[in-house]
């Protein structure tokens, strides 16, 4: 019998199950320009910096790159000027719960993973990877929304998370004529990953993410230019009542980190859902996920 409870799906899973084995790293003496190249090419939000002996010494995230852009630091400056030290580590055998707790209390989005031998780097763990793992479980699960909608004879009585329950309900937007400097100030003040750009009627017209800012920094764009000249569009959205599973699927498929959430009219943006938000829920996309995950493991 299916037991409905809200215990975490992550129980019994280890860091090893979710981590990425490819570690994106650069010598701390390399330039920020090269660092942006690596962040863009490998689609990561941060890279590990190492010293001349290959020892990890810091982390450079897109937030740090944005800070350098805002401060007017030449893009040829070495990564060591902006890296945050030291990098934080966990063990591959640690439980995912423990790692998530460490990320939450330390206020970081990423941990580097060592094997049992100290200093032996084996991977990196970031929020989107945890969501990816959960999505995989959800998709294979017999209670999967996608599966039950195909087999319509089954009674889909499982209670599922919808976007409203998981999203961040406040969205900060700026006018299309505001400058990139204002975008960076606002992103920094509210710790957002991206800014919605609206027209004079308040309708969403585009988005400026930290990735966009990093690219503009590398391309030598003056941070005094208006937001509408560099924003990317159209805005990727989902309905506030859509299923979390569908929203995660959309983000996973088209490689975006967040969806703006609308209620009623498309222009009425009421929240934002990021892959990191989904990871913080620490569960799958429905309330039955504990039992279903165990079934998946039994088959494994």
Partner 1 sequence: MKTTAADIMTTNFSTLLPQTPVIDAIRIFQGSFNKQGRRLFGMIVSDEEQHLVGMLSMYDILLYLRPKHIHVWGSMEDLEIAGVIDAAGSRIKSILVGDIMTPDVVTVGPNANLMMVLDTMIKKHVRRLPVVEEQRIIGIVYISDLFSQLLERISD
Q: Give the burial class of 135: count Cβ atoms within 10 A of its Cβ; 0-12 exposed, 13-18 middle, 19 or more buried.
A: buried
Minimum distance from residue 42 beta carbon to partner 1 (Å): 7
| Footprint on this chain of partner 1 (rule: CB under 8 A) | 34, 36-37, 40-43, 128, 132-133, 135-136, 139-140, 146, 212, 215, 218-219, 232, 252-255
Residue 272 · residue 171 · CB < 8 Å: yes
Measured from the CB atom, is 189 or 254 closer to partner 1? 254
Interatomic CA distance for residues 241 and 251, integer angstroms: 16
Minimum distance from residue 110 beta carbon to partner 1 (Å): 14
Interatomic CA distance for residues 97 and 103, integer angstroms: 10
CA distances from 282 to 11, 108, 193, 215, 289 (A): 9, 16, 20, 32, 11
Minimum distance from residue 202 beta carbon to partner 1 (Å): 25
Measured from the CB atom, is 43 or 104 closer to partner 1? 43
Question: Two tokens at 228?
Answer: 């509408």
Give Cα 245 to chain centroid, integer Å: 16
Measured from the CB atom, is 67 or 132 closer to partner 1? 132
Q: Looking up tokens 């942006």, which residue turns up?
A: 36
Minimum distance from residue 117 beta carbon to partner 1 (Å): 26
Minimum distance from residue 273 beta carbon to partner 1 (Å): 16
Measured from the CB atom, is 98 or 140 closer to partner 1? 140
Minimum distance from residue 230 beta carbon to partner 1 (Å): 9
Measured from the CB atom, is 27 or 199 closer to partner 1? 27
Residue 243 · residue 259 · CB < 8 Å: no
Measured from the CB atom, is 122 or 270 closer to partner 1? 122
């Amino acid at each position: 019998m299916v037991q409905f409870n809200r215990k975490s799906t992550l129980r019994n899973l280890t860091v090893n199950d979710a981590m990425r084995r490819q570690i994106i790293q650069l010598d701390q003496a390399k330039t920020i320009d090269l660092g942006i190249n690596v962040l863009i090419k490998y689609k990561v939000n941060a890279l590990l910096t190492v010293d001349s002996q290959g020892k990890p010494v810091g982390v450079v995230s897109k937030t740090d790159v944005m800070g350098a852009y805002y401060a007017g630091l030449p893009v040829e400056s070495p990564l060591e000027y902006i890296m945050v030290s030291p990098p934080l580590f966990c063990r591959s055998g640690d439980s995912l719960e423990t790692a998530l707790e460490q990320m939450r209390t330390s206020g970081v989005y990423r941990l580097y993973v060592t094997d049992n031998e100290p200093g032996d780097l084996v991977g990196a763990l970031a929020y989107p990877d945890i969501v990816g793992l959960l999505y995989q479980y959800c998709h294979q699960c017999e209670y999967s929304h996608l599966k039950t909608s195909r087999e319509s004879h089954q009674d889909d009585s499982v209670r599922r998370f919808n976007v409203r329950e998981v999203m961040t309900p406040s969205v900060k937007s700026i006018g299309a004529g505001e400058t990139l400097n204002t975008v960076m100030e606002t992103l920094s003040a509210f710790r957002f990953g991206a800014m919605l750009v609206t027209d004079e009627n308040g309708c969403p017209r585009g988005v400026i993410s930290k990735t966009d800012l990093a690219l503009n920094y590398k391309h030598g764009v003056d941070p005094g230019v208006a937001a509408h000249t560099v924003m990317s569009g159209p805005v990727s959205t989902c309905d506030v009542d859509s299923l979390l599973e569908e929203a995660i699927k959309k983000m996973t498929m088209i490689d975006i980190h967040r969806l703006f959430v609308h209620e009623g009219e498309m222009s009425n943006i009421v929240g934002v859902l990021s892959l990191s938000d989904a990871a913080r829920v620490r569960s799958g996309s429905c309330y039955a996920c504990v039992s279903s995950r165990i079934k998946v493991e039994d088959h494994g």
